[in-house]
């Protein structure tokens, strides 16, 4: 259930960034997940809909997901490597039990597509 707090954090950061940009609405939130995430994209989408669904700033906003790497260590042979997808295997021994570095992000807000004042009717007016 920590996905609720993680999603709220993404919404809060997006709200702050949109305010700093002078945006009147957010069209798209670009989010990067890594294999270190212990939750699914679907859970983030569900909580996003629940938390931001009635908020005018996020009206019609979409989440655009990308995947990034995370530093991992194989628990079988202790090899460290960059895991670039969920279900990654150790390139040394083929082990599937991995420990991700504590500093590896699970999910990050990496960008926004916003509507600025006066641009609300123009779908190509983004920032």
pLDDT in tens, 6-38: 999 999 999 999 999 999 999 999 999 999 998
d(CA 91, CA 100): 15
Cβ-proximal residues to 66 (8 Å cutoff; 6+ apart), any chain: 30, 31, 32, 33, 110
pLDDT in tens, 44-92: 999 999 999 889 999 999 999 999 999 999 999 999 999 988 889 999 9
CATH architecture of 2-115: 2-Layer Sandwich (3.30)
Classify strands 70-74 and 62-67 as parallel, antiparallel or unpaired: unpaired
First to last CA, the chain: 33
pLDDT band at 122 (very low <50, low <70, confident <90, very high): very low
How far is residue 123 from each of residues 14, 62, 94, measured CA to CA in Å? 19, 14, 47
> Can you give the pLDDT at residue 86?
81
């Amino acid at each position: 259930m920590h996905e609720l707090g993680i999603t709220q954090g993404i919404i809060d950061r997006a709200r702050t960034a949109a305010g700093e940009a002078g945006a009147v609405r957010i069209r798209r939130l670009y989010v990067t997940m890594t294999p270190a995430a212990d939750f699914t994209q679907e859970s983030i989408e569900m909580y996003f809909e629940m938390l931001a669904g009635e908020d005018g700033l996020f009206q019609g906003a979409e989440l655009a997901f990308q995947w990034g790497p995370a530093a991992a260590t194989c628990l079988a042979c202790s090899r460290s490597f960059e895991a670039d997808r969920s279900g990654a295997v150790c390139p040394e021994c083929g082990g599937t039990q991995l420990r991700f570095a504590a500093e590896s992000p699970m999910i990050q807000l990496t960008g926004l597509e916003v509507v600025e004042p006066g641009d609300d009717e123009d779908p190509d007016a983004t920032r």
